């Protein structure tokens, strides 16, 4: 039988004491640790904490991510997801439960990474980070090409080879960054920021050779994706092989399937450009030749229209002679016409004069009759005489016109008398 009153040997602990000692022991023994497992029985509390079981085939542990850490997670943990948790062990005193307090969680393995990738892609896409309207145009011919990649990797050789084949006269400014592993994204972001502000860098290529999704995970880092989104310089993402798609491919201004083909996006094809330039040159020469031929032709035509001065002079002389002849003819004709007219006029004048004379003679006859009637001579016929001073022929109308002894002429109706004044008598 058991003696219910007998005290046990050794010290007795309260539950709280034991739990407290357990917690101390756990912290001392384990501290913070990385633990890998699969997520099961996940649920979120209304307060924002995430509770789940972390398990492997043989064991499981209760785990919690408090809200403060949960909001920092780059992806949403899901049941069945393989994860790596950064956690510390603790005992939940009220229920005596051993649990993991998870501070940080990383997807583990391809499945989990794919899931995390899809989640992040959806979230960033919803924010508009991949929208086409944010894509910056690539330069036609960059003055300098910024390149972020590892000098140790294969990508740099592939890219430079492509560049040399397509456009050898290129200028490259390299930022040597780790492209894989913990913290590699920080180096890539640093390179992007440095190159972004370098004068002459017109485009930046981020390159890395192919690899597993874990190898390429750097280029799915949200921080790197956001850095590319915010960069002023156009960015070309040339990560992995054709089938590998990473988030930098989606956010970049252009995506190259491989580092080798990136050159096609970065620089124009020098050979094609040279062909185009030579084509321009041929056209220039051909058009100019045609143009000159046309001008030459026109000049030739104009030349035919031109006349030598001597020829022109002869022509002028000929025209002058012609004019002179015409003038002479005209003058002769005019003279003839004038002569004729003069003749006519003379005839008409003669006729007119004759008519006038005839008329006058006729008039005169009439006039003579009239005159005869009025003539002093007719009066003389009636017995009057006209006395004139012999000296000047003045007709005497008064006796004092003459003196005694003056010779006078006395016209009678028939004949005349010369007489001397013997005496003058007053009236």
- Rg of the chain over all Cα atoms, to the nearest angstrom: 72
Measuring CA to CA, how many Å separate 370 from each of 357, 362, 367, 377, 378?
Answer: 19, 13, 5, 13, 11
The residues with which 410 forms a beta bridge, in sequence order, are 387, 417
- The answer to the question of residue 196 lying near other proteins (CB under 8 A) is no
- The answer to the question of residue 363 lying near other proteins (CB under 8 A) is no
* CB closer to other proteins, 70 vs 204: 204
DSSP 401: G
d(CA 362, CA 320): 60
Shortest distance, position 267 Cβ to other proteins, whole Å: 11
Residue positions counted in the chain: 427
Stretch that binds other proteins, among 38-46, 96-104, 194-202, 388-396 (CB under 8 A): 194-202
* CB closer to other proteins, 122 vs 284: 284
Stretch that binds other proteins, among 84-92, 283-291, 308-316, 413-421 (CB under 8 A): 283-291
- The answer to the question of residue 283 lying near other proteins (CB under 8 A) is yes
Judged by CB under 8 A, the residue of 75, 175, 217, 219 near other proteins is 175
- The answer to the question of residue 130 lying near other proteins (CB under 8 A) is no
* CB closer to other proteins, 174 vs 250: 174
Shortest distance, position 90 Cβ to other proteins, whole Å: 42
Long-range own/partner contacts, residues 387-394 (CB < 8 A, 24 or more apart): 387/411, 390/418
Question: How many of the chain's residues bind other proteins (CB under 8 A)?
Answer: 44
Stretch that binds other proteins, among 166-174, 345-353, 359-367, 387-395 (CB under 8 A): 166-174
- The answer to the question of residue 185 lying near other proteins (CB under 8 A) is no
The residue behind tokens 């002849």 is 325
Are the beta carbons of 81 and 105 closer than 8 angstroms? no
CA terminus-to-terminus distance, the chain: 236
* Three-state secondary structure call for residue 51: strand
- The answer to the question of residue 138 lying near other proteins (CB under 8 A) is no
Shortest distance, position 223 Cβ to other proteins, whole Å: 19
d(CA 199, CA 184): 25
- The answer to the question of residue 207 lying near other proteins (CB under 8 A) is no
* Three-state secondary structure call for residue 165: helix
Shortest distance, position 206 Cβ to other proteins, whole Å: 14
DSSP string, 204-264: EEEEE----TTTTGGGG-HHHHHHHHH-SS-EEEEESSTT---HHHHHSSEE-SSHHHHHH
Q: How many CB atoms lie within 10 A of CB 303?
A: 8
Pairing of strands 59-65, 82-92: unpaired
Judged by CB under 8 A, the residue of 39, 89, 102, 156 near other proteins is 156
Shortest distance, position 254 Cβ to other proteins, whole Å: 17
Phi and psi at 215, nearest 5°, equal -60, -40
Judged by CB under 8 A, the residue of 21, 67, 143, 322 near other proteins is 143
* Three-state secondary structure call for residue 244: coil
* CB closer to other proteins, 119 vs 261: 261
Stretch that binds other proteins, among 11-19, 32-40, 161-169, 312-320 (CB under 8 A): 161-169
d(CA 58, CA 75): 27
Site string for other proteins, 291-330 (x = CB under 8 A): x--xx-----------------------------------
Measuring CA to CA, how many Å separate 173 from each of 160, 198, 263?
Answer: 12, 9, 14
- The answer to the question of residue 277 lying near other proteins (CB under 8 A) is yes
Judged by CB under 8 A, the residue of 7, 15, 126, 168 near other proteins is 168
- The answer to the question of residue 235 lying near other proteins (CB under 8 A) is no
Judged by CB under 8 A, the residue of 26, 42, 154, 173 near other proteins is 173
Pick from 168, 244, 243, 231: which is nearest to 205 by CA?
A: 231
CB neighbour burial string for 205-214, b if at least 16 within 10 angstroms, e if fewer: bbbbbbbebe
Using CB under 8 A, list all residues that contact other proteins. 140-141, 143-144, 151, 156-157, 160-161, 163-164, 167-176, 190-191, 194-195, 198-200, 270, 273-274, 276-278, 280-281, 283-284, 287-288, 290-291, 294-295
């Amino acid at each position: 039988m058991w003696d219910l009153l007998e005290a046990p040997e050794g010290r007795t602990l309260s539950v709280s004491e034991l739990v407290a000692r357990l917690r101390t022991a756990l912290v001392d023994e384990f501290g913070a640790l990385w633990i890998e497992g699969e997520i099961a029985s996940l649920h979120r509390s209304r307060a924002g904490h995430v509770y789940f079981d972390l398990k492997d085939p043989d064991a499981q542990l209760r785990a919690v991510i408090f809200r403060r850490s949960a909001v920092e997670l780059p992806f949403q943990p899901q049941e069945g997801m393989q994860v790596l948790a950064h956690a510390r062990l603790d005992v939940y005193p009220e229920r005596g439960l051993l649990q993991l307090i998870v501070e940080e969680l990383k997807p583990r393995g391809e499945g989990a990474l794919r899931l995390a990738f899809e989640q992040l892609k959806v979230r960033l896409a919803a924010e508009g980070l991949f929208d086409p309207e944010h894509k910056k145009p690539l330069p036609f011919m960059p003055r300098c090409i910024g390149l972020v990649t590892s000098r140790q990797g294969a990508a740099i050789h592939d890219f430079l080879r492509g560049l040399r084949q397509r456009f050898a006269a290129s200028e490259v400014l390299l930022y040597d960054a780790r492209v894989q592993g913990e913290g590699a994204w920080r180096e890539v972001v640093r390179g992007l920021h440095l190159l972004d502000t370098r004068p002459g860098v017109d485009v930046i290529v981020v390159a890395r050779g192919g690899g597993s999704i874990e190898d390429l995970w750097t280029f799915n880092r949200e921080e790197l994706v956001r850095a590319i989104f915010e960069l002023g310089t156009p960015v070309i993402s040339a990560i992995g092989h054709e089938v590998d798609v990473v988030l930098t491919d989606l956010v970049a201004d252009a995506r190259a399937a491989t580092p080798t083909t990136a050159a096609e996006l970065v620089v124009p094809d020098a050979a094609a450009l040279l062909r185009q330039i030579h084509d321009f040159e041929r056209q220039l020469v051909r058009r100019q030749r045609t143009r000159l031929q046309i001008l030459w032709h026109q000049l030739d035509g104009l030349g035919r229209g031109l006349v030598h001065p001597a020829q022109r002079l002869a022509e002028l002389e000929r025209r002058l002679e012609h004019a002179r002849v015409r003038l002479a003819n005209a003058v002769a004709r005019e003279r003839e016409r004038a002569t004729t007219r003069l003749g006519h006029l003379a005839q008409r004048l003669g006729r007119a004069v004759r008519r006038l004379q005839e008329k006058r003679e006729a008039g005169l006859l009439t006039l003579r009759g009239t005159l005869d009637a009025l003539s002093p001579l007719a009066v003389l016929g009636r017995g009057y005489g006209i006395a004139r001073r012999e000296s000047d022929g003045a007709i005497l109308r008064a006796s004092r016109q003459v003196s005694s002894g003056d010779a006078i002429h006395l016209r009678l109706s028939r004949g005349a008398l010369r007489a001397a004044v013997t005496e003058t008598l007053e009236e």
